Amino acid sequence: MTTMSSALSPARRARPAAGARAGERASHLLERSRTLVRPALAEAIGRLHPWVGEMAAYSLGWCEPGGAPVATPAHGKGLRQALAVLSAEAAGAPQSAGVTAAVAVELVHTFSLLHDDIMDGDPTRRGRPTVWKAYGTGPAVLAGDALFALAVETLAAAPGTDIPSAVRHLSTALNDLVRGQADDLLFESRPWTGPEAVRPDEYRSMAEHKTGALLGCATALGAVLAGAPRETVAALDRAGRHLGVAFQVVDDLLGIWGDPTVTGKPVHADLLRGKKTFPVLAALGTPAARPLARLLNSADPLDAADARRAASLIEDAGGRAAATAEAHRHIAVVDACLDSLPSTTGTGTGTGTTHGTRDARATRSTRSTDDLRALLDFLVRREM
């Protein structure tokens, strides 16, 4: 995960002291969620075939190939599980509902990383060999399938909740995920210009499906399992989806103008690969983009000097500014979705999803809604 603030304009940044406090709170919320979810996630992984379970644990950064414990933890931040836990709490659900949603979403996320790394041919992730590199392509396909099946099983076995609705949410996210990945793969062979060129609206749809759908599922699933009102679920899903598009656009910005020592990605990797990123697509839509179009159409693939020149032409043609504005637009929608959430959403209609007195619930839900807002707010402004 890389810093979003470096890619967006300074105007969006909080004051340093407030920013540090928000960062501490977000770190604390992420860590609290990881600690809460870990036992249930480990229990689920433990139900897998031992060999497949080892690949899953390796992929989660829990062990080395062969099963030995890792010297230094290599796990991700656990953004999706935190969103699931906090949104469930915000909807007044018992903690178990949030944990179930978090486990399901984390399993799907791990599955998708595993299979995407095969499709994209990526040899490393978080500084370690990808599963297909460490265990082989066939076993990596199998491990992904196992995680997928385990996610569905986890949700189907959740006690006393609206299972059909939860499974529908998960399968919609899964279908969207595949659709987004398919578009992303197909974009690579589409031309830069002409009637077959990728349009910005096609990009938005791809990004919403590929990145936003699972984030939307993470935020909504906790609320679904909590029996939250339909409008709450819809607002949370929409927030996650726009968060995803913003993330994808910022990722594109960082891929061109980010600091490689911070992003961990090689300089201009996306440009060298001919990836249809938002800044390029936005630049190509302007009259100033003629030299950029000539460069992209003439050389395939670009070399390092071409890529440097392309980066500067994209900026000249307004691609950087347009992408920054695009990210801000989606962040504004996330804000609006958060604003539309009732301050107390703990009046779940499902059976078995509420407990304690109404007052205690209202107090807890208000605090939990604040936590969710704090994390989302921090994420969209500071990090991805």
* CA distance between the termini of the chain: 5
Shortest spacing between CB 190 and a copy of itself, in angstroms: 12
Q: Which of 227, 319 has the CB closer to a copy of itself?
A: 227
Q: Which of 170, 239 has the CB closer to a copy of itself?
A: 170
Shortest spacing between CB 262 and a copy of itself, in angstroms: 29
**Does the bond joining 94 to the residue before it have cis omega, within 30 degrees of 0?**
no
Q: Which of 1, 152 has the CB closer to a copy of itself?
A: 152
Residues 6+ apart with CB under 8 A from 50: none
Q: What does the block give as tokens for 351? A: 């059976």
Q: Which of 171, 312 has the CB closer to a copy of itself?
A: 171
Q: What does the block give as tokens for 162? A: 């609206």
Q: Which residues bind a copy of itself (CB under 8 A)?
A: 47-49, 51-52, 115, 118-121, 137-139, 141-142, 144-146, 148-150, 152-153, 155-157, 163-164, 167-168, 170-172, 174-175, 177-179, 181-183, 185-186
Nearest to 274 by CA among 222, 362, 197: 197
Shortest spacing between CB 149 and a copy of itself, in angstroms: 4
DSSP 295-321: HHHH-SS--HHHHHHHHHHHHHTTHHH
Residue 105 carries which side chain, given as an amino acid letter?
A: V
Residue 301 carries which side chain, given as an amino acid letter?
A: P
Shortest spacing between CB 4 and a copy of itself, in angstroms: 28
Nearest to 198 by CA among 184, 213, 211: 184
Shortest spacing between CB 166 and a copy of itself, in angstroms: 9
Shortest spacing between CB 60 and a copy of itself, in angstroms: 17
Asked if 84 contacts 221 with a C-beta cutoff of 8 angstroms, the reply is yes
Asked if 334 contacts 384 with a C-beta cutoff of 8 angstroms, the reply is no
Q: Which of 57, 254 has the CB closer to a copy of itself?
A: 57
